[in-house]
Amino acid sequence: MERARIIIYGNQKQNVEDMTNQIVSIAKNDKAVVRGPIPLPTKKIRVVVRKNVSGEGNTAWDRYEMRISKRIVDIYRSDKAMRDVMKIQVPDDVHIEIDVTR
């Protein structure tokens, strides 16, 4: 039995959700066994930098944050579903990893 684990991640949560729903609906239309989507915790990357580079004057800080959303979908026993998933147009800010195991 083959399993394809699809990991979808990106910094725009809505785009990640849309891609996940699209992959799940394609797999279910092809009558594949689908497990997921499994939401993983949102990773928050924070960077704090000082505004004044010379070191003189008031100490003021800029705070930047990036949130990375991640979902996992497992698809079992369907080559046609995997071919259809690979034909999906993926937005620039969403990344997909596919791992196939036996």
Domain boundaries, the chain: 3-40+68-101
Burial class of residue 35 (count of CB atoms within 10 Å of its CB; 0-12, 13-18, 19+): middle
Record the tokens describing residue 23, joined without a space. 């992959």
Question: Does residue 1 carry a pLDDT above 60?
Answer: no
Could you read off the pLDDT of 56-102 as tens digits, one per residue?
767 788 899 999 999 999 988 777 888 888 888 888 889 999 888 87
Q: Is 78 helix (H, G, I), strand (E, B) or coil?
A: coil
Q: What's the pLDDT at 53?
A: 72
Residue 21 φ then ψ, to 5°: -65, -40
Stated pTM of the model:
0.78
Query: To the nearest whole number, what is the mean pLDDT of the chain?
Result: 86
Which position has the token pair 């034909």? 87
Provide, rounded to the nearest whole percent, the portion of the chain with pLDDT above 70: 97
Whole-number Å distance between alpha carbons of 28 and 31: 5
Architecture of domain 3-40+68-101: 2-Layer Sandwich (3.30)
Question: Does residue 40 carry a pLDDT above 80?
Answer: yes
Could you read off the pLDDT of 14-38 as tens digits, one per residue?
999 999 999 898 888 888 888 889 9
**E strand intervals along 1-102:** 3-10, 33-50, 61-76, 94-101
70 and 53 Cβ atoms separated by less than 8 Å: no
Question: Does residue 52 carry a pLDDT above 80?
Answer: no
